[in-house]
């Protein structure tokens, strides 16, 4: 309930910010958060943190970015979502990430690139629902929150699940991004130089078979 109330407050803030963006038609401000024609947010990854980084060093690079860019976690305005050592390890070495690394290097790379915008991805994710843990755990996580967001990396749009862990002390930690599905942009139009490109999108049939997180 606490998370749902905060999400409603966040959605109100997003709607207000969207209205402000629309009014700024004569400046050069760029935003990493865009909106499709249905008003749903998507995140555009502009900075390629893997550029010039050898593949064998991708995991280290992503862990460094998560640690250095988000030392205080993710500000949700009314509460904070921590990014811990566990977060960094899970994001880069979870069963899902390892499956991508073995079977789809390009998709694994795009997931790693998303880490640079972890704050915007978590802050703007919607359709939050709580899930019970599926097995006994050795850590203090007692449940998970799962939400959805679209993320654009280069010319490719993805639909992703964002997973955060809820601890026994009712704290929340960033856990993973999973179920990454390719989407095809349609009817994309440019609003103006100060705004994001918007468009509707449909889910491509290319989809990862693993639909679960290690909960």
pLDDT exceeds 80 at position 113: yes
Cα–Cα distance, 5 to 27 (Å, whole number):
34
137-182 pLDDT, tens digit each: 989 999 999 999 999 999 999 999 999 999 999 999 999 999 999 9
How is the chain split into domains, by residue range? 2-207
pLDDT band at 215 (very low <50, low <70, confident <90, very high): low
pTM of the model: 0.76
15-59 pLDDT, tens digit each: 445 434 433 333 333 458 988 888 889 999 999 999 999 999 999
Q: Which residue has the tokens 């491509």?
A: 204
196-209 pLDDT, tens digit each: 333 333 344 333 44
> 123: Cβ–Cβ under 8 A, 6 or more apart, which residues?
10, 74, 75, 76
pLDDT exceeds 60 at position 104: yes
């Amino acid at each position: 309930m606490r998370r749902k109330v905060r999400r409603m407050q966040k959605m109100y803030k997003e709607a207000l910010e969207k209205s402000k963006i629309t009014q700024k038609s004569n400046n050069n401000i760029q935003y990493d958060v865009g909106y499709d024609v249905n008003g749903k947010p998507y995140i555009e990854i502009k900075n390629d943190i893997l550029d010039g980084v050898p593949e064998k060093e991708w995991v280290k690079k992503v862990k460094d970015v998560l640690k250095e860019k988000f030392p205080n976690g993710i500000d949700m305005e009314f509460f904070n979502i921590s990014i811990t050592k566990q977060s960094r390890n899970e994001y880069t070495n979870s069963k899902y990430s390892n499956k991508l690394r073995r079977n789809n290097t390009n998709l694994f790379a795009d997931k790693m690139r998303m880490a640079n915008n972890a704050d915007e991805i978590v802050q703007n994710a919607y359709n939050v629902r709580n899930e019970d843990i599926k097995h006994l755990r050795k850590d203090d996580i007692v449940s998970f929150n799962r939400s959805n967001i679209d993320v654009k990396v280069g010319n490719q749009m993805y639909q992703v699940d964002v997973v955060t862990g809820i601890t026994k002390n009712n704290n929340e930690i960033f856990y993973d991004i999973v179920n990454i599905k390719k989407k095809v942009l349609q009817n994309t139009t440019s609003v103006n130089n100060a705004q994001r490109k918007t468009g509707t999108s449909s889910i491509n049939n290319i989809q990862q078979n693993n639909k679960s997180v290690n909960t």
